[in-house]
């Protein structure tokens, strides 16, 4: 044991005896040794070892990783904590929004480098700890666009008996029909903001992710070699194809530069770990204040009517819902929204106000759409059209890349605007204030990833894409106000605190393959319900713009919205449905007017996907327990008849199919369901 560790142990004991250090912190400062490193701190779960800039972690006495370092880039060169000459360790008590605990800080100094601080914060009775790295300039400022609190190389991660089989790759946003993927640990993978090493179904999980999102795009990345994890990178400064950037991550400058704070937690059930990771985020930045109590239920024009929207169709839709569906959908908690999507600008301001008033007369709230950070002009239009009330053309406020050239319109067909430019603020302020003055109580914000792109910003105080995004979204939320429901369409997962809801996936209609895609985002993105009041499965289309959705696809698409347990906006044409309108209206009333299904939706929680010792693209079976009742939803995404067996249901209970009303016994705790291609079923299970 070196002198520093002995001294810390002595100081800790004195402070505890004097009552300065609470006795409730059960962390002796020193333990034995591992891999030549001396233990600095131990909880009932973790032991942290530290020596000369590197650190190791044991969990329940088993080494999870060893000889990890922190690193950063400076002037194009890579430096690590091993490059420093001197290291001192300090231990202090902490008490914050997450509880009480102990923080270990390693301060590293060298005459040639900015000082580095590595922090590790352990909380009493928590399954996670927090870590981060900070650089401190000796004079002037420090600058970097990459800082990694933890890097493990040479196969020194999970070096005692592999615990995990898969890794959860979390996409940065939901644009371009991106998916959650689960490569094996024998491959390589990258999760944006968070990633999880896990074993399905409810197996062990190591969750690693950033918990603050004001400055950096962060990532968790691993590389495999010879069938095992060989390298692990936990870092701020992510810049990938899925962040959509066409410039390097912005360089952060200042007297001090800190990485994001990272959550590291080992859980016996990885799904519980993902939920806790999300909840810990909200202790750093609270969720947006709620608007209403129950699920937002209603209609959105983009599902089928799309560019054919008109005042008459919007009013007729409101009337149909009031007459045929509202009694089922609405109660004291639920607000029924009638939402106009893109192409609403075909309506005049007088028509918009009249539409809002008509919805209110029908006991509904009106919603609207905006894409505040982009322009849809072509190249010529960008040059000749000016932002109203300014002397700037749209080309003047187009986002520049780091090399001074402009971004094109190759991302979704629109041009990203520089959201830090004062004329961009006037651009979206004019539109949003116009909409709010009409009385809309719901706004869908789209193409928001364009506001998070890295670039050369007008406002030089803003250094990164996420800083720009926070700046602009803060302005949007301020203009919209606290009493309007904000729902994000195509948008980054993080930050989350500007919206009440967020779409889990990209555009989804009725085809069973699209339903399966949406269910992929619920299977692995369920934890977002801890970040947003309501997660959104996109518009529920059960007939379709072309009227070709068959009955099985209709049931599956409807059920995908029910089991999401969040926002539920239908998307069909309730005025002039295509093809056989009588059959269309009969289907609307049969499925959308199903009171039993609506009751399940109003429980307001997502179902849990059953992965059954494998990682399917999307789970086939989803379960939810509410009081003395269990709900089981089963999907057949294939083009074949299948028998799907579910386990762990109450034995000798009665299972009622909520679509048909038919019942069956669960026997010895097993429910076997035969499904036609593209079909589904949902059962309510009650003990006899």
Across the range 287-305, mean pLDDT stands at 97
pLDDT value of position 645: 85
**Token couple for 432:** 């949003």
Spell out the residues 6+ positions from residue 191 whose beta carbon is closer than 8 angstroms to its own. Answer: 167, 168, 169, 170, 209, 219, 220, 221
Q: How far is CA 412 from CA 447, 500, 506, in A?
A: 8, 24, 12
Between CA 314 and CA 317 the distance in angstroms is 5
Find residue 643's DSSP bridge partners: 674
pLDDT of 202 reads: 76
**pLDDT attached to residue 246:** 97
Residue 635 to residues 492, 513, 644: CA-CA distances in angstroms? 28, 12, 9
Residue 28, CA atoms < 13 Å, CB-side half-sphere: 7
Q: Give 106's strand partners.
A: 89, 118
- Distance (Å, rounded) from C-alpha 521 to C-alpha 528? 10
The pLDDT of residue 218 is above 60: yes
Let me know if domain 608-687 sits in CATH 3.40.50.300. Answer: no
In angstroms, rounded to a whole number, what is the distance separating the alpha carbons of residues 439 and 24?
Answer: 53
Residues 277/253, Cβ–Cβ less than 8 Å: no
What span, in angstroms and rounded, lies between the C-alpha atoms of 525 and 519?
Answer: 9
The residues, any chain, with a CB within 8 Å of residue 406's CB and separated by 6 or more, are 395, 398, 399, 400
Model pLDDT, residue 342: 97
Domain with CATH 2.60.40.1180 in the chain: 608-687
**53's torsion region: left (phi>0), alpha (psi -120 to 50) or beta?**
left
Q: Which two tokens stand for residue 111?
A: 């005459």
pLDDT score of 29 more than 80: no
Burial 409-424 (b: 16+ CB within 10 A, else e): bebbebbbbbbbbebb
Return the CATH number of 3-284, one of 2.60.40, 2.20.25, 2.70.98, 3.40.50: 2.70.98
24 pLDDT higher than 80: no
Kindly indicate the confidence band of residue 63, based on its pLDDT and cuts at 50, 70 and 90.
confident
Beta partners for 142?
A: 254
Mean pLDDT across 20-32: 32
Question: What's the pLDDT at 677?
Answer: 97
What span, in angstroms and rounded, lies between the C-alpha atoms of 480 and 450? 20
Per-residue pLDDT at 255 exceeds 90: yes
pLDDT at 160: 43
Average pLDDT, the chain: 92
What mean pLDDT comes out for the span 251-259? 98
Residue-level pLDDT at 19? 44
Spatial distance between the Cα atoms of 530 and 605, rounded to a whole number of angstroms: 10
Does position 400 have pLDDT exceeding 90, yes or no?
A: yes
pLDDT at 33: 40
Q: Give residue-wise pLDDT tens across range 328-359.
A: 999 989 999 999 999 999 999 999 999 999 99
pLDDT in tens, 613-670: 889 999 999 999 999 999 999 999 999 999 988 878 999 899 999 999 999 999 888 8
Chain segment 525-560, per-residue pLDDT in tens: 999 999 999 999 999 999 999 999 999 999 999 999
Would you state the structure tokens that stand for residue 257, as one six-digit string? 């530069």
Residues linked to residue 654 through DSSP beta bridges, in sequence order: 665, 686
Residue-level pLDDT at 39: 80
Q: Over the stretch 657-684, which tens digit does the pLDDT of each residue have?
A: 999 999 999 988 889 999 999 999 999 9
Residue range 98-102: mean pLDDT, rounded: 96
pLDDT band of 101, cuts 50, 70, 90: very high
As a whole number, mean pLDDT of residues 249-276 equals 97
**What percentage of residues in the chain have a pLDDT greater than 70?**
94
Q: What is the reported pLDDT for 492?
A: 98
pLDDT computed for residue 30 by the predictor: 31
Predicted pLDDT of residue 473 = 98
* Confidence band, pLDDT 50/70/90 cuts, at residue 513: very high
Q: According to CATH, where is 2.70.98 located in the chain?
A: 3-284
Q: What is the mean pLDDT of residues 383-402?
A: 97
Percent of the chain with pLDDT over 90: 85
pLDDT in tens, 178-217: 999 999 988 999 999 999 999 997 788 999 999 999 999 9
Has residue 4 got a pLDDT over 50?
no
């Amino acid at each position: 044991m070196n002198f520093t560790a002995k001294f810390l142990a002595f100081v800790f004991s004195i402070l505890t005896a004097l009552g300065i250090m609470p006795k409730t912190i059960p962390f002796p400062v020193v333990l034995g040794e591992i891999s030549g490193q001396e233990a600095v701190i131990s909880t009932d779960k973790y032991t942290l070892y530290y020596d000369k800039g590197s650190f190791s972690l044991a969990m329940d006495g088993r080494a999870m990783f060893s000889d990890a370092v922190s690193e950063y880039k400076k002037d194009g060169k890579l430096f690590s904590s091993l490059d420093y000459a001197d290291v001192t360790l300090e231990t202090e008590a902490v008490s914050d929004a997450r509880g009480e605990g102990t923080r270990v800080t390693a301060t590293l100094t060298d005459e040639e480098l900015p000082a580095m601080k590595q922090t590790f914060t352990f909380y009493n009775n928590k399954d996670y700890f927090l870590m981060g790295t900070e650089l401190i300039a000796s004079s002037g400022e420090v600058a970097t666009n990459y800082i990694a609190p933890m890097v493990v190389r040479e196969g020194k991660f999970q070096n005692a008996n592999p615990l995990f089989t898969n890794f959860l790759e979390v996409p940065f946003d939901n644009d371009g029909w991106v998916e959650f993927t689960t490569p094996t640990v024998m491959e390589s993978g990258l999760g944006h903001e968070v990633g999880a090493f896990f074993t399905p179904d409810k197996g062990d999980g190591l969750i690693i992710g950033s918990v603050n999102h004001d400055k950096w795009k962060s990532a968790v990345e691993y590389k495999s070699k010879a069938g095992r994890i060989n390298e692990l990178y936990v870092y701020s400064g992510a810049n990938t194809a899925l962040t959509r950037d066409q410039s390097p991550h912005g360089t952060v400058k200042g007297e001090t530069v800190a990485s994001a704070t990272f959550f590291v937690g080992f859980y016996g059930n990885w799904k519980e770990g993902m939920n806790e990771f999300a909840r810990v985020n909200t202790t750093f930045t609270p969720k947006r204040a709620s608007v209403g109590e129950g699920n937002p239920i209603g209609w959105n024009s983009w599902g089928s009517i799309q560019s054919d929207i008109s005042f008459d169709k919007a009013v007729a839709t409101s009337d149909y819902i009031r007459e045929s569906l509202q009694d089922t959908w609405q109660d004291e908690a639920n607000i029924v929204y009638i939402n106009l999507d893109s192409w609403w600008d075909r309506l005049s301001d007088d028509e918009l106000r009249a539409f809002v008033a008509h919805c209110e007369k029908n006991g509904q709230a009106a919603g609207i759409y905006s894409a505040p950070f982009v322009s849809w002009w072509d190249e010529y239009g960008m040059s000749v059209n000016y932002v109203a009330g300014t002397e700037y053309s749209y080309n003047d406020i187009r986002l520049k890349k780091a090399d001074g050239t402009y971004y094109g319109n190759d991302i979704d067909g629109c041009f990203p605007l520089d959201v830090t430019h004062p004329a961009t603020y006037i651009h979206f302020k004019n539109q949003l204030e116009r909409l709010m003055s009409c009385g809309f109580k719901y706004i869908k914000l789209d193409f928001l990833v364009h506001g998070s792109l890295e670039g050369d910003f007008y406002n030089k105080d803003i250094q990164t894409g996420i800083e720009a995004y926070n700046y602009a979204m803060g302005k949007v939320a301020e203009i919209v106000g606290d009493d309007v429901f904000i729902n994000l369409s195509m948008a980054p997962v993080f930050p989350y605190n500007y919206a009440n809801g967020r779409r889990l996936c990209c555009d989804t209609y009725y085809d069973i393959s699209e339903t399966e895609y949406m269910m992929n985002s619920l299977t692995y993105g369920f934890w977002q319900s801890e970040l947003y009041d309501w997660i959104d499965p996109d518009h529920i289309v059960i007939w379709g713009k072309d009227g070709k959705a068959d009955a099985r696809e209709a049931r599956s698409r409807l059920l995908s919205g029910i089991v999401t347990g969040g926002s539920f906006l239908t998307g069909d044409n309730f005025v002039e449905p295509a093809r056989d309108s009588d059959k269309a209206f009969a289907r609307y009333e049969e499925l959308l007017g199903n009171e039993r299904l609506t009751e399940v939706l109003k429980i307001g929680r997502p179902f849990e996907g059953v992965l059954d010792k494998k990682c399917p693209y999307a789970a086939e079976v989803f379960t939810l327990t509410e009081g003395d009742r269990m709900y089981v939803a089963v999907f057949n995404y294939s083009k074949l008849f299948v028998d799907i067996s579910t386990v762990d249901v109450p034995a000798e209970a009665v299972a009622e199919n909520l679509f048909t009303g038919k019942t069956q016994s669960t026997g010895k705790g097993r429910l076997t369901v035969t499904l036609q291609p593209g079909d589904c079923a949902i059962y309510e299970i009650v003990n006899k």
